Copies of this chain bind each other. A is one copy, B any other.
Amino acid sequence: MKFQSPPGMRDFYPADQRLQNWLFDHWRAASLAFGCEEYEGPIFEFLDLYTVKSGAEILTQLFHVRHGMSEDAKFAIRPEMTPTLARMIAARANALPRPIKWFTIPRMCRAERQQRGRLREFFQWNVDILGVDDPLADAEVIAVAAEFFRRVGVSAEDVVIRYSHRALAAAVMRSFGLSAEQVEPAFTLIDRLDKLSSADFAKAWSEKFGESSSPDALVEFLKNATLEQAIDRAEAAGGLDGAKGGEAMAMSAASSPAPKADAPAPLTMRESLMRFRQHLVDLGVADYCAFDFRVIRGLAYYTGTIFEAYPRKIASRALLGGGRYDNLTELVGGPRVPGVGFGSGDAPILDFLRDLGKLPETAAAIDVFVIDADERFFTAAMRVASDLRRAGVNAEFSYKRQNLGKQLKQATSRNARKAIIVGEEFEKQGAVVVKHLSDGSQTVVEWEKLRSNANYLR
């Protein structure tokens, strides 16, 4: 009987885990650079938390969890973090100082159909800024993502963060004659624009919106319009501000609750979008970003800005995706807390960095390998290793008693930076030999002195 890991789930042997840690460390550092704080939640949640947001169709995409005793599955392993985030924020909405800038690197599972390369378990970096109706928050979450790319050596020539806006896109679509009810199905179709041939796209379009309807003019506009052209067109059609029709997808500021007497007047959509774009410049990430109407984001809960990152030169899944969601905490029974954020999976990012040759060498290394010059010094060698460990130095020694040459070989294969040899000098004068394994040079050092300056060995 031989056991394997479940299909689509990964084992992380030390070499794999070093790479994961390298990625997580960079995710964490980029988040902390912006003052984001780390949080976490349970690995599974009540099933309802997912159906309330995504409807019953999500049930087939979840791993259901039940207690050993019970028949019914009432829990599901989290397929994304946003419902947990919404639940946690809703529970303390009034106590948390704003802006709420949070990040997390949760493990999650999706019951994907089994096929090669399709993971059922993955880690996803999430960054969210909540509690503020300000395009600055939208620009800052995008800047966190860009800063991560910069830190792992990916320039704006290699990656692009495409952004659009739900309400703006809806207004433009209506200006091409779609009704309020047709906007959502049109989003769903346009989301597949790059995946379908233009003939197939036209066919799917007319099936959905009638024989006489052609998407050509709209698609042409979506592909080429600048942000200013889009705003102009939406305004000219009278559909940009004021959340007309069924979309309810106004820009954050426009849909905020009644302002206080001394609060500034809410921004118009035009002002809000222009500020957002200017903030990308001020935050030094405009070169990483491009307005692109074809960004749709499948999930229905976005209400404003939406964005996705893609490699510029390689065909790939989205490297990250996110947007503004201003109704999510209400959906889980809390007060309204606007928010904007993104998620980014470990597998697409690592694949992308591997393709670019940006993955680091992450050999297991140790500070010091302690060697006995002769078996009778082994006890002393162990004590030296123990003292080093106490002083914050990572130290190992050979389990096998073998000659100095073999121990040195083991030190090299263990990628030790230095070897410390304990022998005659230790007995006679309390000294050890420090050997630098990079160049083979060595010096005799008084052990007590070395021990009290152990930082030098790290």
Contact = CB atoms under 8 A, between A and B. Distances in A.
A48 B3 contact: yes
A70 to B, nearest CB: 9
A267 to B, nearest CB: 13
Is the contact region of chain A dominated by helix, strand, or loop, or is it mixed? mixed
A413 to B, nearest CB: 7
B75 A68 contact: no
A86 to B, nearest CB: 8
Interface string A344-360: 00000000000000000
Contact of A136 (B38, B387, B399): B399
Interface stretch (A239-247, A306-314, A389-397): A389-397
B332 A396 contact: no
Nearest to A69: B60
Given A65-B65, A386-B283, A40 B60 contact: no
A457 interface: no
Contacts of A6: 42, 44-46, 75
B68 A111 contact: yes
B390 A41 contact: no
Given A21-B38, A63-B68, A97 B413 contact: yes
Given A40-B17, A88-B13, A65 B63 contact: yes
B12 A41 contact: yes
A306 B149 CA distance: 48
Contacts of A387: 284
Nearest to A2: B333
A383 B60 contact: no
Contact of A66 (B29, B64, B68, B334): B64
A403 B210 CA distance: 58
A73 B66 contact: yes
Given A6-B44, A46-B3, A394 B60 contact: no
Nearest to A109: B43
A59 interface: yes
A12 B102 CA distance: 12
Interface string A361-377: 00010100000000000
B68 A5 contact: no
A8 to B, nearest CB: 9
A406 interface: no
B43 A107 contact: yes
Contacts of A390: 147, 150, 284
Residue among A33, A69, A121 with max Cβ neighbours from chain B (10 Å): A33
B364 A37 contact: yes
24 contacts: A3-B48, A3-B49, A3-B87, A3-B333, A4-B91, A6-B44, A6-B75, A9-B44, A10-B42, A11-B39, A12-B41, A17-B37, A17-B38, A33-B389, A34-B396, A44-B109, A64-B67, A64-B68, A66-B66, A107-B107, A147-B390, A282-B379, A282-B386, A285-B386
Given A67-B111, A69-B111, A284-B390, 18 more contacts: A1-B52, A3-B45, A4-B87, A4-B91, A5-B42, A5-B87, A6-B46, A9-B43, A9-B44, A11-B39, A12-B39, A14-B37, A17-B38, A34-B394, A35-B414, A43-B121, A65-B77, A99-B399
Closest 9 CB pairs of A and B: A9-B42, A35-B396, A2-B333, A14-B37, A12-B40, A284-B386, A60-B68, A282-B382, A33-B389
Interface of A: 1-6, 9-14, 16-18, 20-21, 29, 32-35, 37-46, 48-49, 52, 59-69, 73, 75, 77, 84, 87-88, 90-92, 97, 99, 102, 107, 109, 111, 121, 132, 134, 136-137, 143, 147, 150, 279, 282-285, 332-334, 364, 366, 379, 382-383, 386-387, 389-390, 392-396, 399, 413-414
